[in-house]
Amino acid sequence: MRGVLLGTLGPEKPTLAGAVRALEVDGPVALITAGWQEYEGQVEELPEKLGRDIVPLDLYRRTERVFAEDAELRAEHRALQETLRTGQEYYRLRLARSLDAALDIARFARGSPLEADEARLSMSYMRAMDRDHLDRVQGLRRDFDERMQPLRRPAVARQRAEIARLLQGTRILAIAGGHVAVLLNRLRLFGISDLVEDKVLVAWGGGAMVTAERVLLFHEDPPQGEGISELLEPGLGFHTGILPLPGPRHRLKLQDRERVGWLARRHAPFKCIALDNGAHVSFDGPRWFADSEGSHWLREDGSVSEEWVS
């Protein structure tokens, strides 16, 4: 797959249309706005922003129809989501306690012979928690899929066939942001990854986040206290090598070398790429290209660089 990822759109309407034109692909755009939830259908400005006609796939609305027809699937899916939410809360608590301990130990050990080793141990514990969390989420989703076989259930199959028909008339798939977990759930429910074939991808905001191999929720600069990023679950894997972080200015302490380095080392070997409003980057298989200013590589030494493309 090839495509383009953008930060949050902001008010600059030409940004998205320009990114789409640069792809040099004709025809209407298949559009996913499931992350907007009940506002999914309010897409009046998007044809202008995309610079062409759109074909809404209406995944949020279709999910509501599926659940209205299939009560068993609805109940089991809700139970899965509750389990995932609870597990996320427990994982978040572990991360918070570990961050507090890591900060305290770093202060106590600063300048001592143990400083480097203690920093390594703190990072090792954090990465282990991330890995265990992803493994648990994958296991829960795998068990659900094996037990419920959602793609084979008539209500899902009917909607999925209609989605496939709509996709046949398009060559570009656009994924907007919004509620990241809701968006990812709807994409998974209908097996969208297996339907996109050779489509060219355009994604922004939370839509860009779900296209990566991992979905990283980040807010390391909250109004109060210490923030910490957390993994949600594996993403769609439409591209490799980077974790997109759209809209970083109010969520990341880019001026804090210690926090930048900690974040980058924790999620290595993935490159954490912050995308400012209006910034966009493209990929063609494994290669990445910076198409505008405003994309920043958070490096393991704590620096922030725009020299990161492969």
Under 8 Å between Cβ of 293 and 287: no
For residue 224, what are its two tokens? 């109060």
Q: What is the pLDDT of residues 257-295, one digit of tens each?
A: 988 999 999 999 999 999 998 899 999 988 999 888 899
Q: Which domain holds residue 99?
A: 2-305
Does residue 56 have a cis bond before it (omega within 30 degrees)?
A: no
How many other C-beta atoms lie within 10 A of the C-beta of residue 308?
A: 18
Over the range 187-211, which residues count as b (16 or more CB within 10 Å of their CB) and which as e? bbbbebeebeeebbbbbbbbbbbbb
List Cβ<8 Å contacts ≥24 apart for 97-103: 98/122, 98/125, 98/126, 98/129, 99/126, 99/226, 99/228, 100/226, 102/126, 103/226
More confident residue, 203 or 221: 203
Would you state the pLDDT for residue 277?
87
For residue 156, what are its two tokens? 């899902």
Record the pTM.
0.93
Least-confidence region, from 4-18, 140-154, 186-200, 268-282? 4-18
Q: What is the pLDDT of residues 89-113, one digit of tens each?
A: 999 999 999 989 998 999 999 999 9
CATH of the domain at 215: 3.40.50.880
Q: Is residue 310 part of a domain?
A: no
Q: How many domains does the chain have?
A: 1
CA distance 262 to 153: 45
Closest CA to 236 of 288, 178, 184: 184
| Residue 57, Ramachandran bin (φ over 0: left; ψ between -120 and 50: alpha; else beta) | alpha
What is the phi/psi pair of residue 110, to 5°?
Answer: -55, 125
Q: Is residue 226 part of a domain?
A: yes
Helix (H, G, I), strand (E, B) or coil at 212: coil
Would you state the pLDDT for residue 14?
60
Angle at which helices 71-109 and 59-69 cross, to 10°: 130
The mean per-residue pLDDT over the stretch 212-222 comes to 88
